[in-house]
Amino acid sequence: MSLLFSPLTIRSVTLRNRLWVSPMCMYSAIEGVPQEWHHTHLAQFASGGAGLIVAEATAVVPEGRISPRDTGLWNDAQRDAWTPIVDAVHARGARIGVQLAHAGRKASTWWPWAEERGSVPAARGGWGTVAPSAIAFEGFDAPEALDEAGIAEVVEAFASATRRALDAGFDVLEIHGAHGYLLHEFLSPLSNHRDDEYGGSLENRARLLLEVTEAVRRVAGDGVPVFVRISATDHAPGGFTPDEAAVVAEWAVAHGADLIDVSSGGLVAHQHIEVHPGYQVPLADAVRQGGRIPSSAVGLLTDGAQAEAVLAEGAADAIFAGREWLRDPHFGLRAAHELGDEVAWPDQYLRARWR
C-alpha cells in the first residue's frame, strides 16, 4: 500500500487515508446555516475516496464571516443543520472536520461572483470589522482595533463553537490561523502594530492563536484531533516568515494542536507568490522540522504520484487538496487507481472500478 492510502490515527480518530479535502468556502449559507448545497458538495467527496473532509471556514461569531453568505456555528440552528451533513459523510466511510474561523479585517466582503467588490455596506447587510490594529486590508473598510475584552470574547467564541461542532458530530476541529484572517492578522507584524501583550514580539503576536488553541483543546477533550492552519509566509517584505512559522507551530502543538496545516499568503494585497505545482510543500517541510511537528501540505497537488512523493520525501504527514477535488470529486478513487492501491469503492460504483 502507498503512504497516501495508508491509514493515519490521530488521538481517537482513524482516517482511512491521507488524501484530504481542504476547507473551501461555498458562499451559499443563509444566516450562517448550511444548505442542501453543502450536503451534496461535502458528501460527494466521501463517495470519491477522501479520508478527511474539512468543511469551509465557519464563523464563530456573525461578524467573523468573510461574507454574509458564510456558514457559522454561533447558534444551535446552525449546529442542527450541520448534523445531517456530518452523518452523510460518515455513512460513506470518511471522517469530517470543520474549520473554525474569524475573518477579522477581511470580514463583511462580497462573495466572489458578486458584481461588487470590497466591503459590504451596512445598508446591504454588511457590518463593522475588527482586527489587532486599525489597519485596513487594501480596498476594504478600516477595522476597529480589538481591546482586551474583545480579545477574550473571541477566545470564548471559539470555545462555544467547538462545543457546537462536537454536538453536530464533527470528528476533527481546525483553527483557521491563515490567509489574512483574524488570528493571522495578530501573527504578522504587517497587520499587528499593538504595543500590549498581544503585539511586538513573536511570543506576543502568537498569544491569541495559542489562547484559542488551548480553549478549543479544553472543550474538545483528549480524544478529538485539533489542527491549526497557518500561512507560513506572508510573501511580503517585513511579514510573517517561515522561521517564525516553525516556532509558532511548535508552540501550537505544545498548547494542544495535533497537526499544522501549512498554507501561505493572504494577509496583504501586495504579496508576491510564485505559483507552481507543489509550491507550498517546502513550507510544510520546514514547519514539520524533520518529523517533530506533524504537518500537512497543500497547494497545486493534483495527482496521486505527486502526492505520494511528498509523503515519501518526508515533507508532510498528509495531503490537503482543494481545486482538484472540485474538478474531480472522485479524486481519491482516481489517485488510488494511479498508484495501484486497493481501496474500498462504494458498491454503487464498483462497475467502474476495473474497466
| Residues catalogued as catalytic | 181
Question: Which residue carries 487538496 as its cell?
Answer: 321
Amino acid at 39: H
The identity of residue 22, as a single letter, is S
Ranges of H-type helices in the chain = 36-47, 76-91, 148-168, 182-187, 202-205, 207-220, 242-254, 281-288, 304-312, 323-327, 331-339
Per DSSP, the chain holds a count of helices (H) and strands (E) of 11, 12
Which of 195, 1, 178 minimizes the C-alpha distance to 102? 178
Say which DSSP state 122 is in. G
Q: Are 116 and 89 in contact, with CB atoms under 8 Å apart?
A: no
Residue 337 vs residues 83, 301, 345, 350: alpha-carbon distances, Å: 32, 16, 11, 13
Query: What's CA 60's distance to the chain center, in Å?
Result: 13
